[in-house]
Amino acid sequence: MKGIHPSHLILLLLDLLLAGCASMGPQDTDQYIFLDKTETLFVQFEHRASPIYQVNMPDVANSMEKNRREDFRVVLANLLYAYQLPIEIRILEERENPGPGPLLEIHAFRFEQDNSGDLVAVISAKLSKYGQLNTLGTYNHRDTPPPGGNRQMMDKAFRDVIRKPLREMLDDLQQHFPTPEEMEIINERLRPLGQE
């Protein structure tokens, strides 16, 4: 029986350790974040290919990361057009820093074809604004790719698999826009005492 090569075992353990560290990041604050229509919401996407590919086939890993980033960008842009959220949204490039204003961080824990051949997308999303942090949630979807698919068919299949998690995330993000009643309550608290 053939065992796991020690270097692969170390990479797998390192991957688990890094995933554990990522979940120990900043904790949610008590303040619920309301998005202001006058601001720009910056969207940051992070995805890394499997460490096994990064170590053994870095060119393949880079290509996979580039293709999945493009799949994410195309699907999110299409969904944002359909949702018509009442705020300006800017999808950041890979190494671009966000400007002042709220930040939506989307981390793809998995956005790949797994060992069984299924396409898998698992993302988490966090919304931050001026030191406040709200976790939107973790979203996932699994699907079977088209048989004998060429590059274009596989790109479409990857876009289809991430569409559902992004749609669910945008549904949750919509809850961060205040209703007129909530805006009145917020404004009431901000008005100086004795003034209308």
CATH of the domain at 145: 3.40.50
Give the integer Cα–Cα distance in Å for 95 and 12. 26
What pLDDT digit, counting tens, does each position of 121-139 carry?
Answer: 999 999 999 888 999 999 9
Say which amino acid occupies 50: S
Report yes or no on 10 lying in a domain: no
Report yes or no on 120 lying in a domain: yes
Residue ranges in the chain whose pLDDT is less than 50: 1, 193-196
- Give 150's DSSP letter: -
- Count of domains observed in the chain: 1
**Amino acid 147: pLDDT:** 85
Report yes or no on 37 lying in a domain: yes
Give the integer Cα–Cα distance in Å for 72 and 160. 10
**Please, what's the b/e burial string for 70-99 (b: 16 or more CB within 10 A of its CB; e: otherwise)?**
ebbeebbeebbeeeebebebebbeeeeebe
**Do residues 104 and 127 make contact, with C-beta atoms less than 8 angstroms apart?**
yes
Report yes or no on 17 lying in a domain: no
Cβ count within 10 A of residue 33: 17
**Amino acid 26: pLDDT:** 67
Structural domain span for residue 140: 29-190
**Amino acid 179: pLDDT:** 78
**Amino acid 80: pLDDT:** 95
Report yes or no on 5 lying in a domain: no
**Amino acid 14: pLDDT:** 60
What is the sign, positive or negative, of the torsion defined by CA atoms of 181, 183, 189, 191? Answer: negative
**Amino acid 1: pLDDT:** 41
Report yes or no on 14 lying in a domain: no
Q: What is the pTM of this model?
A: 0.77
**Amino acid 25: pLDDT:** 60
Helix, strand or coil, per DSSP, at residue 25:
coil
Report yes or no on 22 lying in a domain: no
Say which amino acid occupies 144: T
Q: Name the CA dihedral angle for 93, 137, 113, 43, rounded to a multiple of 10 degrees.
A: -10
Report yes or no on 176 lying in a domain: yes
Say which amino acid occupies 26: P
